[in-house]
């Protein structure tokens, strides 16, 4: 099986006597209350999903990632993983101290060994990471909301988040790797999505399944922009069709507990490296991966992989063209496989599908399965009520 990024799977979770000893000293530590998003990042680092990271980035690591997409030791890493706080809160915290990281309710989930605190150049980060300073970009908007000062340092995970949806589909990287070994999978293709499944997805997934031992379906369930279909409907869309379109012995579904950055090319590399940590050898990269609006070129998320040597990334990107249903071919195809002109192609954007649903019309069966359309209608009704 492919090795985790950096060579080993990070594990910062403590248990037993070590955990009990740490908990005894919590009252002596300053308390820092985090958002749910930051607590999730803490947990993702702790269980090794972000291997080789062992904590929130210090200034050197942050600058290397922003400017060159590399950690200080040269390892490829495309996105800053940081913890932001206000200037007033940062002034209260001393370098070298241990800080208890808690929820807004006061429950402690981790310990930060504070090694660094610094003020980043947000304008620079926006331009390098998102390729824009436009505040209408959801990633840039989230960056603006982040605290002015970043805290860097190694983490210890003492408690896990428990009040989470999709518990049956939540698996740590080490557990996913065990499952792959149990199934005898060595070559595994991962598919990332923040959208409900449709025929184009099926086409890419089945093409990948033809050349690998198994398919790792990994829908993102972290924070997304308000216009995206809510996570519960994305998961439900897979549940209503997964047993009908795939052999159960060759598919494994695990939710991806990460917030969307909408960083396009850089986020495609990030998504690939996280799936490498799960044990996947291949990663499907389609049209405008992790994109939003018109900030990135159609295939920029594929081209970025060419900027690195194969061994630096490790996981193999499977680069697919835009797919559509061809009435002449009578099946799904891409420009690489179909000789017919656009008059024979049936394809709809997610935006157009939502427009049809709002108008009370069902998308054609060549684009979306009827069972999935029912889920989308349910989602649209829920969004309009809210």
Tell me the H-state helices in 113-171: 122-125, 138-145
Q: Give the pair of three-digit tokens for residue 77.
A: 């890493």
Q: Which helix (H) or strand (E) holds 70?
A: none
Choose, from 146, 194, 199, 234, the residue flagged as catalytic: 194
- Cα–Cα distance between 26 and 30 in angstroms, integer? 8
Radius of gyration of the chain (CA): 21
**Are the C-beta atoms of 90 and 149 separated by less than 8 Å?**
yes
Query: CA-CA distance, 302 to 286, in Å (whole number)?
Result: 8
> Encoding tokens for residue 137?
């970009």
Token digits for 207?
Answer: 């093409």
User: Tokens 């799904």 identify what position?
Assistant: 332
Phi/psi at 47 (5° precision):
-95, 0
Instruction: Match 């950690």 to its residue by tokens.
Output: 71
194 is catalytic: yes
The C-alpha atoms of residue 78 and residue 24 are separated, in whole angstroms, by: 37
Catalytic hit among 195, 250, 287, 362: 195
Question: How many whole angstroms separate alpha carbon 289 and alpha carbon 283?
Answer: 12
Residue 312, classed as helix, strand or coil, is helix
Using an 8 Å Cβ cutoff, are 218 and 194 in contact?
Answer: no
Three-class DSSP category at 102:
strand
| Residues noted as catalytic | 194-195
């Amino acid at each position: 099986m492919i090795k985790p990024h950096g060579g080993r799977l990070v594990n910062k979770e403590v248990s037993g006597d070590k955990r009990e000893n740490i908990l005894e000293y919590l009252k002596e530590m300053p308390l820092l209350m985090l958002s749910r998003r930051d607590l999730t990042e803490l947990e993702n680092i702790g269980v090794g999903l972000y291997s080789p990271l062992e904590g929130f980035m210090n200034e050197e690591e942050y600058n290397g990632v922003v400017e060159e997409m590399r950690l200080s030791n040269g390892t490829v890493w495309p996105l800053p993983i940081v913890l932001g706080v206000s200037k007033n809160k940062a002034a209260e915290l001393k370098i070298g101290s241990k800080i208890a990281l808690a929820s807004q309710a006061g429950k402690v989930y981790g310990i930060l060994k504070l090694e660094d605190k610094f003020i980043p150049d947000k304008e620079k980060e926006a331009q390098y990471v998102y390729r824009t300073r436009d505040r209408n970009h959801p990633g840039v908007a989230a960056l603006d909301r982040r605290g002015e000062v970043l805290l860097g340092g190694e983490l210890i995970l003492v408690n896990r988040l428990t009040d989470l949806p999709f518990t049956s589909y939540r698996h740590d990287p080490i557990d996913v790797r065990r499952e792959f070994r149990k199934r005898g999978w060595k070559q595994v293709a991962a598919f990332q999505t923040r959208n409900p499944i449709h025929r184009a997805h099926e086409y890419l997934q089945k093409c990948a399944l033809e050349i690998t031992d198994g398919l790792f379906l990994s829908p993102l369930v972290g924070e997304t922009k308000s216009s995206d279909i809510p996570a519960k409907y994305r998961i439900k869309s897979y549940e209503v069709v997964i047993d009908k379109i795939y052999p159960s012995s060759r598919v494994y579904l695990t939710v991806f507990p990460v917030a969307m950055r909408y960083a396009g090319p850089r986020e495609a590399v990030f998504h690939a490296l996280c799936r490498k940590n799960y044990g996947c050898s291949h990663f499907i990269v389609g049209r405008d991966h992790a994109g939003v609006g018109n900030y990135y070129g159609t295939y920029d998320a594929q081209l970025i992989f060419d900027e690195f040597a194969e061994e630096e990334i490790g996981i193999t990107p499977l680069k697919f063209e835009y797919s559509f249903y061809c009435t002449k071919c009578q099946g799904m195809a891409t420009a690489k496989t179909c000789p017919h002109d656009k008059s024979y192609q049936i394809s709809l954007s997610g935006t157009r599908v939502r427009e049809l649903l709002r108008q009370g019309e069902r998308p054609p069966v060549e684009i979306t399965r009827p069972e999935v359309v029912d889920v989308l209608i349910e989602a649209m009704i829920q969004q309009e009520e809210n």
